[in-house]
């Protein structure tokens, strides 16, 4: 397919903010990786193992990126959400929403190593290599479970509010978590487990995806109403509100290329944000992707984006959601040139 170039948008923003975009690569849709039918959520990449993992219904879809994109199915999960590789361990942490557990899977043969009870409706999660702890956001329970992965047990629980979505760790082990119900970012110290004052996000409705850029100390929160909020993580103040597509569910930070990508499933686009503009982060372009592609993973080495989605037919009921057409689930591959 022909390359899809980043279009320079919002020229009224200071010209210096757009300079970063002139060095940005163009992007080309280079293919798709087919997989079995079923729903999907977060995706991640184990860079050392060259493997893409996608939370895919009641299992994990594993794609060997170094071997012709060969596909395997791992584990038996009760609604998979997060898929978090544990570096150097042949180990994958998966949140299992419908039975309030986190599973540890062997990535070689897929067998379950541990089943750890957490809070209600575990959703997003990440791993902190320095502490050896995984951090799990329990959406309905409004709590954060801290798991010692080596010991295979919960070692701390932080009470926040129901509605938790994606979380990231900033400086000093500060946890920032989107709250989809209250339209704010909740804050806690992962060391002391003390809760801080939440950051309100006026103009943002239903924040889900969240990214953190350590070089600029910026948080980027993606909102369901077609907005992204840029926040200074040090001052904890909103810097600006950006226009993006509709229906996002992830913020992918490419530190090497100094870009952030927000897949927007309802719009079928990816909003591209330059991180180093003179006036701070600014939207500099849009990539046409596919409807339903709302989450994804970024390979930091190649810069490739991997976005799970499917093709859709009309809703089954009036006012309902479009229905995925059987046999069409795939992971779209978008490559920088």
pLDDT digits (tens, 9 = 90+) for 238-248: 999 999 999 99
- What CATH architecture does domain 55-200 belong to? 7 Propeller (2.130)
Q: What is the mean pLDDT of residues 192-203?
A: 97
DSSP string for 48-79: TTTEEEEEETTEEEEEETTTTTEEEEE---SS
Q: List every span in the chain annotated with CATH 2.130.10.10.
A: 55-200
Place of tokens 């979380």: 167
DSSP string for 232-297: ETTTTEEEEEEE--SSB---EEETTTTEEEEEETTTTEEEEEES--TTS-EEEEEEE--TT----E
d(CA 286, CA 4): 9
Q: Report strand pairing: 27-34 vs 330-336.
A: antiparallel
- Does 249 score more than 50 pLDDT? yes
Whether pTM > 0.85 for this model: the answer is yes
User: What pLDDT is recorded for position 15?
Assistant: 34
- Does 9 score more than 60 pLDDT? no
Closest CA to 253 of 179, 169, 315: 169
What 3-state DSSP class applies to 20?
helix
């Amino acid at each position: 397919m022909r390359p899809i170039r980043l279009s320079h948008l919002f020229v009224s923003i200071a010209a210096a903010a757009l300079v970063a975009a002139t060095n940005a690569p163009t992007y080309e849709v280079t293919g798709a990786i087919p997989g079995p039918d079923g729903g999907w959520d977060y995706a991640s990449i184990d860079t050392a193992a060259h493997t893409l993992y996608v939370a895919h219904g009641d299992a994990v879809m594993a794609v060997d990126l170094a071997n012709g994109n060969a596909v395997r199915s791992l584990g038996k999960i009760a609604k998979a959400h997060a898929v978090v590789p544990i570096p150097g361990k042949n180990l994958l942490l998966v949140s299992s929403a419908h039975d309030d557990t986190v599973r540890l899977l062997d990535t070689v043969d897929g067998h379950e190593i541990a089943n750890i009870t957490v809070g209600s409706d575990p959703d997003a999660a990440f791993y902190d290599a320095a502490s050896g702890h995984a951090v799990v956001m329990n959406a309905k329970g409004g709590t954060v479970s801290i798991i010692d992965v080596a010991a295979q047990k919960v070692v701390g629980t932080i009470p926040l509010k129901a509605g938790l979505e994606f979380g990231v760790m900033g400086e000093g082990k500060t946890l920032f978590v989107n709250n989809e119900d209250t339209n704010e970012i909740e804050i806690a110290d992962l060391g002391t487990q003390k809760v801080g004052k939440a950051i309100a996000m006026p103009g943002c409705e239903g924040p889900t995806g969240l990214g953190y850029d350590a070089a600029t100390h910026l948080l980027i929160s993606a909102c369901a109403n077609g907005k992204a909020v840029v926040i200074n993580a040090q001052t904890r103040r909103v810097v600006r509100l950006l226009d993006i597509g509709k229906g996002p569910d992830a913020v992918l930070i490419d530190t090497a290329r100094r870009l952030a990508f927000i897949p927007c499933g309802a719009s079928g686009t990816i909003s591209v944000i330059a991180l180093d503009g003179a006036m701070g982060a600014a939207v500099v372009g849009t990539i046409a992707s596919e409807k339903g592609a709302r989450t994804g993973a970024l390979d930091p080495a190649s810069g490739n984006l991997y976005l799970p989605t499917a093709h859709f037919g009309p809703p089954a009921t009036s006012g309902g959601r479009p229905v995925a057409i059987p046999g069409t689930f795939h992971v779209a591959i978008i490559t920088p040139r």
